[in-house]
Amino acid sequence: MRTRGLWQPVTVSLRRLFPSASFVGCGDIRVREATDVSGSCEPGSLFAAVRGTRHDGVDYVNAALEQGAEALLVPHPVSTAAVPQCVVHDVRAGYARLCQALAGDPSGRLKLAGITGTDGKTTVAWLLRSIWQAAGQSSGLLGTIEYDDGGHTQQAHLTTPGPAALASWLAAMVARGTTHAALELSSHALDQDRAAGVELEVAILTNLTQDHFDYHGDLDSYAAAKSRIVDLCAPTGEIVFNADDPQIHEMVCSMDSGRVAGRRCVSFGICADADFTARIVDESVSGTRFCLQWTEASGAAVESVEMTTGLVGRHNVMNCLAAAAVAVGQGVPESAIASGIGALTWVPGRLESVQCGQPFDVFVDFAHTEESLRRCLGALRRVVPGRVICVFGAGGDRDRTKRPMLGEAAAEGADICIVTSDNPRSEDPRRILAAIAEGVAKGGGTPVVVEDRQEAIVEAIGLAREGDAILVAGKGHETYQEIGGRRLRFDDREVVRKTLHGAAWSDRVGA
């Protein structure tokens, strides 16, 4: 990991870190290196026997010892291991907490904003970074698209890094002198305690709609996972939440007083009576102009501040409100907030406009849930004079119940629905397409099924006329397609550009 060269681990006493733990073969264990991968153990390291979804780390203790591990973090004593053992109730959370401790607990030395929600995490994170940069603050970001420690950036592999990587990136930020950071927290990461030991200055809840039911099972379990971000918030931190979202509003309002005690709750919304709100002045395919107004902690209302964002759609105004709420709480000047919001003209794969001189608009977006697809289509419907054409699919080996729901949402929001492959993975693409097509029909539309995604994009561009808008949804910033166990190079934006460059648009204007 490239970030590791910027910092060195500290020695951690497990007795001090886990005062309620029991110890086997010792009174304490002092650790400087730890891993939950048996094959990565080195002489002198500790092996954390984390139980995964398929394998139990305890089964790999012997393999870890053969690699040189000299201590264990386990859920129960392992009689066959003649090495010091620290026994804790939750090894997964304990290991994550240990990773943060080994890195010197870097989150406590950062103004760290954590963001969770079904949609909007990435855009809010990018808006925050842009605002901080406009305010002259050194800033970092860890999220779906990239990891940025304030000096080095690399492509992300997970929305939220694993415990060791997360600690390493945060430590690298501190080492570089980065002061502010945004951290996207997925429901998987929260459920798996990847961020245990991290302390957030601000916890942001964007929205909550159906997603990842293949993992969580139902909305209640999904919501419970999302709500765990509050437990990471510092005792005197801030909880920023979407008052327009009924699920989020109910979640925050129904939380036990002990979970929110001492923390300031700040709401944002366009429709609801919120602390931070906006009045839309103008919307177009080039962005949105709005007036931001908020109420100070004292109760005093601030006069409206006009702002312009290059991000399209009212859902992106909501994202701007979330970022502005955090920035105001941190004392960022209004001018820097406006400059930062205005400077971010696009986020990769988030209603990203692709222009090659064509007389219609093409947008690529990561929308892969019913609600996010509705938001994107609704945003385009409000700003384009012509038809809205939607190219979309659904991922294989994921929540099957949302496939017809995606189809219905597309039918209700688009004039033409072209159903195609997303990442079918190990599933038969035709079965996925059939389920989506049923939803399109239920929504009153006529599905145009084109299995090959490139051909589907070509089909959409061939149908488009002056004044129309095409939304290519589902993959956004992704540069690959997973089919039959293979990961193939595929970028919606590249395919769109290639197709557009191959057409003589001057001959078609007004056709």
The span from the CA of 344 to the CA of 323, in Å, is 12
Nearest 5°: phi and psi at 152?
Answer: -130, 135
The vertex-367 CA angle with 206 and 249, nearest 5°, equals 20
Contacts of 426 (CB under 8 A, 6+ apart): 396, 397, 484, 485
For 248-300, the three-class secondary structure string (H helix, E strand, C coil) is HHHHHHCCCHHHHCCCEEEEECCCCCCCEEEEEEEEECCEEEEEEEEECCCCC
The span from the CA of 456 to the CA of 474, in Å, is 13
The span from the CA of 82 to the CA of 185, in Å, is 38
Which pairs count as long-range contacts for 52-60, CB under 8 Å and 24+ apart, including other chains? Answer: 57/91
pLDDT of residue 511: 36
Closest by Cα among 258, 468, 441, 476 to 367:
476
User: Contact, 74 vs 91, CB < 8 A?
Assistant: yes
Neighbours of 507 (CB within 10 A): 8
pLDDT of residue 158: 97
The size of the chain, in residues, is 511
pLDDT of residue 504: 52
As a dihedral over the C-alpha atoms of residue 76, residue 81, residue 86, residue 88, rounded to 10 degrees, the angle is: -20
Q: Domain limits of the chain?
A: 2-102, 106-343, 352-507
**Please, is 55 exposed, middle or buried when counting C-beta atoms within 10 Å of its C-beta (0-12, 13-18, 19+)?**
exposed
The span from the CA of 493 to the CA of 365, in Å, is 10
Question: b/e string for 300-333 if b means 16 or more Cβ within 10 A?
Answer: eeeeebebbbbbbbbbbbbbbbbbbbbbbbbebe
Which CATH code fits 106-343? Answer: 3.40.1190.10
Question: And the tokens for 360?
Answer: 């219609």
Question: And the tokens for 463?
Answer: 């149908």
Question: Which residue is associated with the tokens 């039918």?
Answer: 411
User: Which amino acid would we find at residue 7?
Assistant: W
Report strand pairing: 111-116 vs 200-205: parallel
Distances (CA, A) of 138 to 110, 145, 348, 448: 11, 19, 21, 48
The span from the CA of 420 to the CA of 473, in Å, is 10
Superfamily of chain region 352-507: Mur ligase, C-terminal domain (3.90.190.20)
Nearest 5°: phi and psi at 136?
Answer: 80, 20
The vertex-116 CA angle with 114 and 118, nearest 5°, equals 160
**Architecture field, domain 2-102:** 3-Layer(aba) Sandwich (3.40)
pLDDT per residue rounded down to tens, the chain (511 residues): 556 689 999 999 999 999 999 999 999 999 999 999 999 999 999 999 999 888 999 999 999 999 999 999 999 999 999 999 999 999 999 999 999 999 999 999 999 999 999 999 999 999 999 999 999 999 999 999 999 999 999 999 999 999 999 999 999 999 999 999 999 999 999 999 999 999 999 999 999 997 876 777 898 999 999 999 999 999 999 999 999 999 999 999 999 888 888 899 999 999 989 999 999 999 999 999 999 999 887 777 787 899 999 999 999 999 999 999 999 999 999 999 999 999 999 999 999 999 999 999 999 999 999 999 999 999 999 999 999 999 999 999 999 999 999 999 999 999 999 999 999 999 999 999 999 999 999 999 999 999 999 999 999 999 999 999 999 999 999 999 999 999 999 999 999 999 999 875 544 433 3
Question: b/e string for 472-506 if b means 16 or more Cβ within 10 A?
Answer: bbbbbbbeebbbeeeeeebbbbebbeebbeebeee
Distances (CA, A) of 433 to 163, 183, 401, 447: 37, 34, 13, 10
